[in-house]
Every structure is written in structure tokens, then in C-alpha cells.
Structure 1
């Protein structure tokens, strides 16, 4: 089966991007190299093509956005109804057992909600969304999604889309690029200040070229995107998030606002609410932790984690691991039995245990514009 491509596919090829299969899409994993692109994002501004993500519009058949919010809250534990116009929020889709179907971003655009879904989960998520009554679900196939990330992103993007520099973290609004309405959110997946821009496919290449013509902007691929999000302590679906991991275990209790918890005015009413509420109140059997790995060799996903150098029963497993260009050494996230990890744990790699220091996340401080 042929891979899907984005509106920037020809540009990626022209720029020398090394293209790979990612969730059924042909996307660049790197251009000049993952570490160089990572470091450029931390110091300047990098342009990522994230058009593989599912962009979905949700409208109420009644025309009243409150009805759409009420419908979405039967699937999403977050406060959808409490989201102000022009704002965006992180949310989850959950299973009847309390696991995580997907994580997502949703924005209030006044007369509709814009939801951005993970590419690998879009079909699963759409099947759930299409069970809702009283709403229309539209998957957009005519728009690209580009992420400009880094400390110089605002200055660069302001030259093309006036008004973006005034946005605060998690604002999501409609602005103008050369006479074309574009949807801009001040958000991202790197821990840096930055923006995600939804733009019609027909204008995407011209927009990307205009950004890349700026001295401070360079293209970046999936490799840097993953190392950046790992340093930022952000979970990735299929790693820290699965149908077998609950929000409390993933450390995402903050994504379920007080109004949706027991005692709140809109408590429960979503799949797995009893399990999730109980774990948020009383604790979960497992917890997500951060690790700084001794030595230079990264510890990869799936490696068992032990409480000490001699024990035979693992306390958990590495969910993501890699080299941190910012810190100059390997880091990882692990899912372990709650309370089982001391100050040091021991992942096992090819039969050898390495020491790892339990470390608060994010590993690298977030630089959001609040």
C-alpha cells in the first residue's frame, strides 16, 4: 500500500529530507541531522511538518456550541464546556476500563471545536467521535499543519502573520497570511515557545518557503521532534499512553479539571470515569518517572527496570529513551510500580544493568510564552 504524503512532500525532497514511513505517511526523519535540528530548535526556530495529524471540526447540529461541548464531554474527561473562545486545551479519549485511547488538543473557535488527533489513532478516534449524537464530525483533508518551534519563532512568524506575537500560550485564533485565513495556536510538542499553523494545502508550500527563507528558521524532522518532546517530559501515544495505561499512571491527572472530578458540577459521564476518579483520589498502581542514565549509551523502550542491581523481579519498563543533546547524556521515561523506585533504579540492557537516577520532569525547562 502506498504511503500518504503531505502538501510539503516535494519540498522535503528538494531540501534533502530523509523520508520514512510514519503511521502510513512518508515524512522526513531528518534533514541536516537529528542533533543539529534539535539544538537549532532550542536556540532559534525550526519548522516541522505535522500535517499527518488528524484535524477535525466538531459542530452542533443545533448551532449551539454548548451542545457540542456537552457531547464531547461524554468522551473526553477534560472541561470542554469551560474552554473560552480563542483558547486551546489538552485532553484525552478514554476506554471503559480507564485506559487511554488517544491524547489530543481541542480549541474553541467560536462556532465549532477544532480537534487535533494523533495520526496513528485518527481512524480509531473518528469511530468514537462519530458515535456522538447531535454533532457533525468533519475530518479535514485539505489543510496542512505546520509547527514553528523555538525562542525565535514569534519574531519570525510575526513577519508573515501579523498578530501572532500577541498570543499567549494555548491561545488558538484565526489570523491572516497573505489574504488567506489560517488557524494559529501558540503551542507545540517541544517544550519551547512556538506555534502550530493550520493552512490550506494550496498555500502550505509558499508559507513554508517564506519561513525557511529567514536566517533563523531551518527545517526539522521527526527525529528532533522526538528528542525534544522527551527532554520536555511529554508522553507519546504507544509509549507512555496506551489503552492499558490510565491517566493517573501516565501522570496526566492535571488534564482532568476539578469540575469533571467527583464533587464537580460535571463530574464523570465519560468512559472509565469510576476507575479514573478512584485512582486520582487514592493513587494508581503504577507511575511514570524520569531517569538520567549513567554513561553514554541510551536505554530504549521495552527495557525492564529493577529496583536494585541484584533483584530478579522488575518493577517496571522503559517507555521511551534516547540521548539528550541539551543535557549531553541519555535520558528515559519509565512506567514502574508506584513507590517502588528509590533515588536510583537499574534498567537492563542486553543482560547488563545500568544505574539510572530518578529525576523530576521535564528534564529541560519549558519555555512557554505565558
Structure 2
């Protein structure tokens, strides 16, 4: 496959190629979709031991208050996201959303309290727009710096703690969604106990010039296998996690996307800091009365996967479409096809039977609770 000449590279691109990565365009970057072991083995190895991911295409951003008071940056950011940033304790992070005036989602992101600044991780495809959005609305109150000299590495799976502990024993004491400064191979790193697979694990921000050495050290451990975008997608799908631009987007509100859990009580109607973010009237109204449609899990009957874009119907023959699949594929850990999509709220109850149209034929699918696997985050 010939790749476009204008693709950006991560600090680990040459490393990925040297280890047999099959490179593809993704969000403007040259990224590995799989390695020689293949997507299936990479997926199952991550569930059983530890998978190593290059996620350096993601945007890393510092939000530093010009006043020197972190609460000023937190309150400023709350004007753009419907989450409780002010209540985020030092050394903790949480999932957030940039919302639009019509209630749609501009991007999803992670927000960490780093004592004197906020540390944000945003999606690669949206990072230029996200940074411009921050500078336009918060530039008078905060210094906004994109970290372009750092890599981001994810180590995911039940053996991730044991592997990373060989380099930094203190990471074993971290809990899910904690963030800490850790020295790895003599270099400072920002380590978050979090990830995008449903497994326990870490996301590690390191100086770009130290990324290869760290990746090689991980890979020298027999418990670790390199994982590409293909298995990253099947892992997150089994865990019921949204992919921006597919399962959530500017036409989706938080309640429609079934991610209202990301909006804490203090930001909801009746809360001390309720509203004040773009689209608040629409978003808060849907939290109170419900959204007209809902993101749901889908279990296709049989072994054939139902892919993104498949149209959903309430009837096996005839009738108007009632929804659409936004993510779909085969779930190696559940040994069955799995999917997510949108249906009217009236059809969103578990076990509701629908039909997905694939190449002119309608196949039975059933509404399923999410996630499809048991998430194994270390919360205590």
C-alpha cells in the first residue's frame, strides 16, 4: 500500500515499521493497523497479558492559569465542558466533552489536575480544532500549550501493572484515573492509570526522544505484545467505548450517546454550578426528560459481523429505517459479532429484536447491555 507523502509521523513510526507494523493513514498520521501476529492474536493477548500501543497521534495540551490559581483555569474550562473540573482533585483525571451550542459533541477528551495546571488529552483528528477552540474562548485567562515534543504510549492488560512495576514499583499503588509523575529509564514521565480497552493499564507521556527506548524495554518483556489500530478498535468496541466521529459526533448529544454519566451532579439542573456550557439548555433538558434516540449495544444473530453504516429496521421486511450501526465487527473475547448503534428510545430496551440490512438482506440483531465484556479497571 502506497501511503500519502503528507502523513505525519509519531516518535515511534520508525520503531513500528522496524517491528513489522502494517502502516495505514489514520487521522493524518502514518499508524500501524496491525503487526505480524495479526489483529486476533493482538486482541486476545491484550486481554490475557499486556498490549503495547503507540497513541502518540493524540493531542497533549497544557492549560495553565495566567492568575496562578488552578481554580481559575478549572472554572474557565467548565465554560466549554459539562463536567466538574473544579472538583477534580490533584493527581486525578476524568473524561470530558467539548459541547456545541446545539448540544452536539465537538470532541471527547481526558482532563487531569496536575496541581498548577490542567493536562488535556484530545483526539488526533480534532486536536487542531480543539486547541483553536481553547485559545479562542480561554486565551485571555489561560496559557494554552500543545506538547509537540512528547510521545504517548499505552500499556494495557492484566499484566500491565506487573510489567510497568519492573521499571517503577510505585505505579502498583495507583488507582483507576490517577495521574502521577514517574521516572522511567531515567526520564520523567506522566503516567495515568487509564486506557481505551476495558482492561487495567496505563497511558504514559514521555519525551519524544525517550519513546523508542521505553517501547523497546516494554517489548523485551515476554508478557508484552505490540498492538495496532485494528485490535485497539475491537478492544474498545467490546468495552462499549465510543469512537469520536463514529459513535459520537456533532449531531449527537451526551444523553443520546449514553454518556450522561460524564456529567456530574454539580453541573446538572439544580447543581451549584449547573449549566454555563455550550448547549446547556438542550443537554440538561434531555438529562431530565430523556433523549429521543439512544446509543445501544447490538448482538447480531449468527457469526457474521454487522459493520458500521448498516441500517436498522423494526421489521424483517418493509417499513422505514429506525436506526443505524455506528461501530461493528467480530468480538474475539466474546467469540461473537458485536456492534453499537442508534435506535429510538422506545426500541432501546435490552433484548429488543431488530433487523440490520446487509447487501439487501435483513439479519436479526438484538439490543444488548454495554459493555460486552467485564471491564477490569483497578478502582481500589
Question: TM-score normalised to the size of structure 1?
Answer: 0.99
* Cα distance between partner residues in 2 of 1:248 and 1:303: 22
Misfit runs of 4+, over 3 Å: none
Look up the SS of the partner of 2:167 in the other structure. coil
State whether structure 2 residue 292 is matched by structure 1 residue 288.
no
Structure 1 residue aligned with 2:314: 307
Q: For residue 218 of structure 1, what is the aligned residue in structure 2?
A: 225
1:311 is displaced (CA, Å) by 3.6
Find the counterpart in structure 2 of residue 108 from structure 1.
Answer: 113
Distance in 2, Cα, partners of 1:347 & 1:341: 15
Picking from 345, 353, 367, the partner of 1:344 is: 353
**What is aligned with 2:186?**
179
In structure 1, how many angstroms separate the alpha carbons of the residues matched to 2:143 and 2:343?
Answer: 40
Hey, what does 2:237 align to over in structure 1? 230
Do the aligned partners of 1:305 and 1:315 also contact (CA within 8 Å) in 2?
yes
Work out whether residues 293 and 342 of structure 2, in 8 Å CA contact, stay in contact via their aligned partners in 1. Answer: yes
Higher alpha-carbon deviation: 291-300 or 241-250: 291-300
- State how far apart, in whole Å, the 2-side matches of 1:16 and 1:97 are: 45
Q: Is the 8 A contact 2:185 2:214 kept in 1?
A: no
| SS across alignment from 1:63 | coil
Matched, 1:322 2:329: yes
Whether the aligned pair in 2 keeps the contact of 1:162 and 1:176 (CA below 8 Å) is: no
Q: Report if the CA contact (8 A) 1:307-1:341 is conserved.
A: no
CA deviations on 1:129-156 (whole Å, 9 max, x unpaired) are: 0121300110000000000000000000
Give the 5 Å matches for 1:6-25: 6-25=10-29
Partner of 1:366: 375
The 10-residue stretch of structure 1 (338-347 or 66-75) with the greater mean CA deviation from structure 2: 338-347
- Residues 146-165 of structure 1: pairs in structure 2 closer than 5 A: 146-165=153-172
Matched, 1:263 2:270: yes
Alpha-carbon RMSD: 0.9
- What SS does the aligned partner of 1:71 have? helix
User: How many angstroms apart in 2 are the aligned matches of 1:161 and 1:20?
Assistant: 33
Asked if 1:118 is matched to 2:123, the reply is yes
Distance in 1, Cα, partners of 2:44 & 2:186 = 34
Is the CA contact (8 Å cut-off) linking 2:103 and 2:279 kept in structure 1?
Answer: yes
Whole-angstrom CA distance in 1 between matches of 2:12 and 2:370: 34
- Tell me how far apart the structure 2 counterparts of residues 161 and 136 of structure 1 sit (CA, whole Å): 32
C-alpha displacement at 1:341, in angstroms? 4.6
Matched, 1:139 2:146: yes
Give the drift of 1:310: 2.4
| CA apart distance, 1:179 | 2.4
Q: 1 CA distance for matches of 2:193 and 2:363?
A: 39
TM-score (norm 2): 0.96
Choose from 209, 221, 245 the match for 2:252: 245
Cα offset, 1:177, TM superposition? 1.0
Q: How many residues matched?
A: 370
Residue number among 349, 354, 365 corresponding to 2:363 in the alignment: 354
Confirm or deny: 8 A CA contact 1:100 1:246 kept in the other structure.
Answer: yes
TM-fit CA distance, 1:340: 2.5
3-state SS of 1:164 partner: helix
Query: Secondary structure at the residue paired with 1:354?
Result: strand
User: Residue 189 of structure 1 aligns to a residue in which SS?
Assistant: coil
What whole-Å deviation, never above 9, does each CA across 1:204-233 have from its counterpart, x for those lacking one? 100000000001001000000000000000
The residue matched to 2:204 in structure 1 has which SS?
A: strand
Could you tell me how far apart the structure 2 residues matched to 1:309 and 1:127 are? 47
Deviation per CA, 1:110-146: give whole Å up to 9, x if none.
0111100000000111111012130011000000000
User: Aligned partners of 2:207 and 2:198: how far apart in 1?
Assistant: 26
Q: Distance in 1 between matches of 2:74 and 2:274?
A: 14
